[in-house]
Amino acid sequence: MKQVVVQLTAQSPIAVGEWMTSRSNVRESLNYIPGGVLRGALAQAVLEQIGQHRSSRRTLGAHSPTLQQAFELCFGKSGAQFGFLMPFENAAWIPAPATALFNKQDGRYLYDTLVALLRDETYSMECPHTGYRLERGRGFLVRGENGWSKAPMPPKHLFVRVGLNRQLEAAQEGILYAIEAIEPFVLNGEAGRPLRFTGEVRFPDAQGAKAFETILNALRWHDDEVHLRLGSARSRGFGEVSLTYHDAPDPEPVNLKDFAERAGKPVFTLLARTPVIVYDPSGAPAPTLTPELLNESLPGLPASGHLCDSQQTQALRNR
């Protein structure tokens, strides 16, 4: 399997989220870009390039059998897998695990109670450095030179727009709606820098990666950059990004020896980086991941394996 690191640089506000609710007329946005959003934007751009997009019916270029074949390889059933694109330039990120504790007043201090949970030990809910209260970690963590730290999320802005009367093709009096969007710049003092989203795209083989490169080369503009629009409200100027990519570095080797010594037993952990969709025996979506459901996907797990969820960690903290 081959993978590349994709980086999107925001050129305009980005709105990615659910449809607006009729009660409030507000469309909220996510803090990140799901991989399927980028996948759909690229697929639409290719189909418009070869004149096969059914809704827009645009033909922006000549029909190319090579581009058609690359499209089928990249977006077919066994094609590329697009991961989440997070608003961090560093690709090393994880969601804050249920065992993490944050210092609410000072974000420099972060603690993981996993080892104490494995050793059945209690721990204090006060920061040993500042004495401030600790609370359960939420959000995302990024890894820097000094280890893991809480990731700052990008600022958002609420844009108010006037609804249109489709019959008169003019503004409709008394109808307003709001679009929440991610700001395209991150303030750094008085100046700002463009916001960048980083994610990974995985291919089953080198042929799929070559097809992805062929697609991006076909979508490059005269300035030799790949420009796309994604998310909601694209016709109103939202969602413009430029795309760059490079080969992903080799994964770092995992050494569990030190971790096992701290835990006092041979142990390994699994952390869900993205939402896990599992089904119970009746075929309905399961509300929680149980050891029985986990063994169906990973039958080689030892019988001693157990899950550490937020309720277990909270019970240990209250002891």
pTM of the model: 0.79
Query: How far, in Å, CA of 278 to CA of 270, rounded?
Result: 15
Residue 59 pLDDT greater than 70, yes or no: no
Alpha-carbon dihedral sign for residues 126, 127, 128, 132: negative
Which domains does the chain carry? 2-90+177-247 (3.30.70)
Token reading at 273: 């980086």
Query: How far, in Å, CA of 111 to CA of 148, rounded?
Result: 10
Residue (of 182, 203, 184) closest to 81 by Cα position:
203
- Those residues whose C-beta lies under 8 Å from the C-beta of residue 215, and which sit 6 or more positions away, are 42, 46, 67, 70, 71, 74
Q: 54-63, 221-230, 249-258: lowest mean pLDDT where?
A: 54-63
Residue 316 pLDDT greater than 70, yes or no: no
Mean pLDDT computed over every residue of the chain: 81
Residue-wise pLDDT for 85-120, tens only, equals 999 887 788 888 888 888 878 777 788 888 888 888
For strands 196-203 and 226-229, give the pairing. unpaired
pLDDT at 7: 94
The answer to whether residues 266 and 258 touch, using CB atoms and an 8 Å cutoff, is no
Query: How far, in Å, CA of 153 to CA of 140, rounded?
Result: 9
pLDDT at 244: 92
pLDDT at 105: 80
Query: CA triplet 37, 186, 198: central angle to 5 degrees?
Result: 35
Instruction: Taking residues 20-38, report their average pLDDT.
Output: 81
Query: How far, in Å, CA of 73 to CA of 201, rounded?
Result: 14
